[in-house]
Amino acid sequence: MTIDRYANRFVCDLVAYEPGKPIDETARELGLDPAQIVKVASNENPLGPSPLAKSAMREAMEEAHIYPDGGGYKLRSAIADTFGLDRSNIVLGNGSNEIIELLCHTFLNRDAELIAAKHAFVVYKLMATLFGAKYVEVPDPGFIHDLAAMADAITPETRLVFIANPNNPTGTMVGQEAIDRFMDRLPEHAIAVFDEAYYEFPDNPPDTLKYVREGRNACVLRTFSKIHGLAALRVGYGVAPAHLAELLQKARQPFNVNAIAQAGALAAIADADHMEKTRQLNRAGLAFYEDSFRARGLEFVPSHANFILVRTGEGDRVFRDMLKQGVIVRAMSGYKLPDWVRISIGTQAQNQRCLEVLDAVMTAAASV
């Protein structure tokens, strides 16, 4: 008998999150030079970090012996300013993933329910499991969140409804009208969580911050990991009415966002140039993949984000075969999509290489 049987049952039930395969690990396993490997598996920014963020971080290193500002004064103020909100509306997280956890800490228990779409970001389900709550999964025909069905699924026990917009891994987006109608139906005992990790990529994303301004039960999640190219720093934030933000603040660790990350993020906010370059590169890359998939008769899901879901058949095999040639994509069997892979948009050279390798492994399979 081991200590395991005394462990929290909800932890035992968890299936750990499987991240994109790291470059170094792949290089070790294949005996390749890490520099030859193309990783298009985690929706990272192919242009790298914002250059302004890099120099701010170098400077911040000099003060690494001092604890960070646990209140995140400068960063929260700067974020609030960009939205015309108050600092009291902003909660910083160790990635926006941590805000998801703080929401669950604050509102979930064994009697509570969390609602999400069938092909939504998998972390919602992990968190619901961890807190012993009921995870309610709503079908998403055409891979698009069905907000009317999600509103129908709300019960007196519902506390959190997650709307990932654009969603990962599908890249689909729901529009303003559907969101407005959903918010009309949201009862006072539930919170709409708009996970907007890819908010900066689409041309006309819906406005959900208006619900925060109106003091509704809404929490908007954003991150520095995607458009700003700072995934390694682990910094994201939640935007919520002050009384809700205050609750989330209580649930976090005192120094949850480190000082280097705060400095980098603060500089990145001002780097409009890097954001615009990222958007342009992404737009071109999406068009490249969509044209290429169309030409090959491959089914894909039109994307509003910085990745694209494509139906290759045998996603696990395609992932493994591409890996052997040094291209890391993401298999989707964990998302109940065993026939699909998700490809993050890279530089033009990375996109071309990825497509060549995809062609090669699909041709090889067809000729067996």
Ligand X SMILES: *Cc1c(COP(=O)(O)O)cnc(C)c1O
CB of 294 to ligand X, least distance (A): 25
**Of residues 172 and 312, the one with the C-beta less far from ligand X:** 172
Tokens of 37: 């490997």
- Strand partners of residue 191: 160
- Strand partners of residue 158: 113
Sheet with 330-331, side-by-side order of all strands: 300-301, 307-311, 340-344, 330-331
Distance CA 296, CA 312 (A): 11
Cα–Cα separations (whole angstroms), residue 131 to 32, 127, 218: 41, 6, 21
CB of 305 to ligand X, least distance (A): 8
CB of 81 to ligand X, least distance (A): 21
**Of residues 216 and 234, the one with the C-beta less far from ligand X:** 234
**Of residues 89 and 97, the one with the C-beta less far from ligand X:** 97
**Of residues 201 and 211, the one with the C-beta less far from ligand X:** 201
Look-up: residue for tokens 């890249």? 171
The residue length of the chain stands at 368
CB of 233 to ligand X, least distance (A): 9
- Strand partners of residue 194: 163, 220
**Of residues 32 and 47, the one with the C-beta less far from ligand X:** 47
CB of 5 to ligand X, least distance (A): 32
Residue numbers of the site for ligand X (CB under 6 A)? 43, 95-97, 121, 164, 168, 195, 197, 223, 225-226, 231, 236
**Of residues 238 and 326, the one with the C-beta less far from ligand X:** 238
CB of 176 to ligand X, least distance (A): 19
Closest CA to 127 of 95, 107, 101, 99: 101
Q: Which residue is nearest to ligand X (CB)?
A: 95
Distance CA 275, CA 267 (A): 12
Whether the bond between 169 and the residue before it is cis, its omega within 30 degrees of 0, is yes
**Of residues 76 and 353, the one with the C-beta less far from ligand X:** 76
Look-up: residue for tokens 């298009």? 40
CB of 293 to ligand X, least distance (A): 21
CB of 359 to ligand X, least distance (A): 27
**Of residues 164 and 361, the one with the C-beta less far from ligand X:** 164
Look-up: residue for tokens 């604890």? 67
Cα–Cα separations (whole angstroms), residue 42 to 17, 135, 187: 13, 25, 35
- CA 143 to chain CA centroid, Å, is 16
CB of 65 to ligand X, least distance (A): 26
**Of residues 260 and 361, the one with the C-beta less far from ligand X:** 260
**Of residues 119 and 226, the one with the C-beta less far from ligand X:** 226
CB of 98 to ligand X, least distance (A): 7
Beta strands in the chain (DSSP E): 38-39, 90-93, 113-117, 134-138, 158-164, 191-195, 218-223, 236-239, 300-301, 307-311, 327-328, 330-331, 340-344
Counts of helices then strands in the chain (DSSP H, E):
14, 13
